[in-house]
Structure 1
Amino acid sequence: WTITGADIGSDTLTGFKRIEFNDGVLALDIDAGDTAGQAYRLYQAAFARTPDMPGVSYHMNDMEGNGLALENVANNFIASPEFKTKYGDSPSDDEFIDLLYQNVLGRSADDDGLAFYKNHFNEGTMTRAAALIGFAESPENISLVAPQIEDGIWLAS
């Protein structure tokens, strides 16, 4: 990363996850498994919209500062009024899976994908929160979201 200031020239920074400025923080930990990227993608996947940055900051703090696991954050999203508005109060497994495909990946569920998730739900080996995380952190979604966050996530103070 190279930072250039009008009066001071430029600096090249490597190996940093966050850069703090007077008016905010630039989060560069955006890859799979990185907190800022996970929070952004989970938010986008759950609500099918660009996340608001105070919300991303809040959930990043929950994970980093309060030790909340990503699955707990996903459960909180699923319990939220906004999620219920988007997915319904109690969608069937088929409806939930298809809505994840539509809202996260922009397409209908394929037969194999639908069967995969239904099978795990029926066997009790996957929760809806884990499925939401799976969609959010899937290679397909990471590629879809990458252009939005490739220069980092700006978190105004």
Structure 2
Amino acid sequence: ESFCRNDPILVESWFAIEPIQCGGNPWEQLREKRLFRDERERVEFWFLYYQNIEILDYREEQVYGAVCRACSCPRGYKIYVLVEGHHYNDLINLGWEPATDVPEEPGCSIIKGEDTCPIGFSCNESTHTCETTKRQEQSCEEKYGCLVDRQYLDLLHRNSELQGHEYYVGALCSDEMTYSGLVNNFITSKEFSLINNYDFILRSYFGIYNNQYKLRYDNSLYKLPDYETINYWNNKMEKFSSEKESKLSVINSFSADALWDKKTPEISNSDFVDLLYKHILGRAPEKAGYDYHLSNLENNKITREEMLLVFIDSAEAKGKYANQVLTEISYFGLLGRAAERDGFVYHTSRLDKGTDRSKFLDSFVNSPKYIGRLDKLSCTFPH
């Protein structure tokens, strides 16, 4: 009986550790800063999540009355944790030592109107103990206002109007709309399509570059659009006198860069129509469509540039390149940059395999990169 009482492996054991430092990974830092009110919450989470060890008791050795907040503990600060005896060797193996100088349960005091308790606790002046306080709930505006405004700025390039702002904040707060639903509302809105020509520009880009070089997702030479080029044409298209003129300018620029103008003059009209079917639509022509387009070329009813536009703007091409376009628009609007090759391949293939639009957008708005971008823009992502 005496042996069992004194064997540290069989009884509860105190260990002294220095505060766990916030990791170098931005996502870990972000999670820690967002989720944990104080060091105790963070240490308890770390033990349980990473080591599967439950902390039975927790004490802190305060230095000159300092309080240890998450990710900002004073140098020399020590934390004491009490764990079940069978975890003794686990902590020894992690390099921590049994504690022999465990401090008494700390009292608290109120100095100049502020108590010395950790965040989420308040000091009971009669007992000098820290007691849990009800966490103050954020208002709907505090939780979602900045996020809604970011969509207006990032996707519509303007400030929000009061009516729209209040509508979206209310819908998010009442769970009538998810955050991915909010993003989807913006990128499918009439205003987005009117001020952004991303859909057409990206479709032209993929239709001309992708199929001109006969490249596919697994080809290391796959030519992806860059952010500057797409935005250059997005801004320039608004300056033309007509929609057709602006679209032809985009197509002529891309096809010239892809060497279409060097190759297509050397081929016949029939071969050119066949080229459009195979390269833009990725299939062999059907007889009726082939005859129709060839007749228009032979009778000078349409130029080759205009026919290229007809194919790029067709419902079939819109469907064929929809997943690639949505992937790039999500990168442009939510991350403020073009997709890197691996990310483009991964996200486009998810859509190709049937991932629905909501889940697809969820993967962007919940990603560390997007949350990190919001953090830089002084928005807090609601958890």
Q: Which has the higher contact order (CA 8 A, sep 6+)?
A: 1
Task: Name the structure 2 match of 1:60.
Answer: 234
Runs of 4+ in 1 over 3 A off after TM superposition: 5-17, 26-32, 85-89
Query: Which of the two has greater strand per residue?
Result: 1
1:63-102 correspondence to structure 2 within 5 Å = 63-64=237-238, 66-67=239-240, 69-78=246-255, 80-84=256-260, 87-102=263-278
Report the alpha carbon displacement of residue 115 of structure 1 after superposing the two structures with TM: 0.8
| SS of residue in 2 equivalent to 1:150 | helix
Residues 198 and 234, structure 2, Cα contact 8 Å, conserved in 1 = yes
Match of 2:297 in 1: 121
Aligned equivalents of 2:308 and 2:314: distance in 1? 10
Unmatched runs of 5 consecutive residues or more in structure 2: 1-29, 35-141, 158-182, 212-222, 339-383
Mapping for residues 126-145 of structure 1, pairs under 5 Å: 126-145=302-321
Equivalents in 2 of 1:150, 1:36: separation in Å? 10
State the alpha-carbon separation in 2 of the partners of residues 17 and 87 from structure 1.
Answer: 39
Structure 1 residues 31 and 102, CA, compared in 2 at 3 Å: closer, same or farther?
farther
2:279 matched to 1:103? yes
State which of 1, 4, 18 in structure 1 corresponds to 2:155.
18
SS at match of 2:266: coil
TM-score (norm 2): 0.32
TM-score (norm 1): 0.70
SS of 1:156's equivalent? Answer: coil
Counterparts in 2 of 1:128 and 1:134: CA distance versus 1, 3 Å: same
In 2 relative to 1, CA 81–71 (structure 1 residues): closer, same or farther, beyond 3 Å?
Answer: closer
- Cα distance change on mapping 1:139 and 1:100 into 2, 3 Å: same
Which amino acid in 2 is paired with 1:46?
Answer: I
Aligned amino acid, residue 41 of structure 1: R
Q: State the Cα deviation string for residues 33-91 of structure 1 (Å, max 9, x = none).
A: x6111111112222225541233222222212x3262123223334x152338954522
Does 2:209 correspond to 1:47? yes
1:71–1:133: 8 Å Cα contact kept in structure 2? yes
What is the rounded CA distance, in whole Å, between the counterparts of 2:251 and 2:201 in structure 1? 9
- Structure 1: distance between partners of 2:299 and 2:253: 23
Q: Matched residue of 1:69: which SS?
A: helix
List per-residue Cα deviations over 1:2-29 (Å, max 9, x = no partner): xxx9768553578888256xxxxx9947
Match of 2:199 in 1: 37
Range with bigger deviation, 83-92 or 109-118: 83-92
Distance 1:17 1:109 in 2: 40
| C-alpha displacement of 1:139 | 0.9
CA contact (8 A) 1:17 1:28 kept: no
Q: Is there any run of 5+ residues in structure 1 with no aligned partner, and where? A: 21-25
Larger radius of gyration: 2
% identity of equivalent residues: 19
The one-letter code of the counterpart of 1:42 is S
Cα RMSD (Å) of the superposition? 3.7
Cα distance in 1 between the residues matched to 2:277 and 2:322: 18
Task: Give distance in 1, aligned partners of 2:154 and 2:279.
Answer: 29
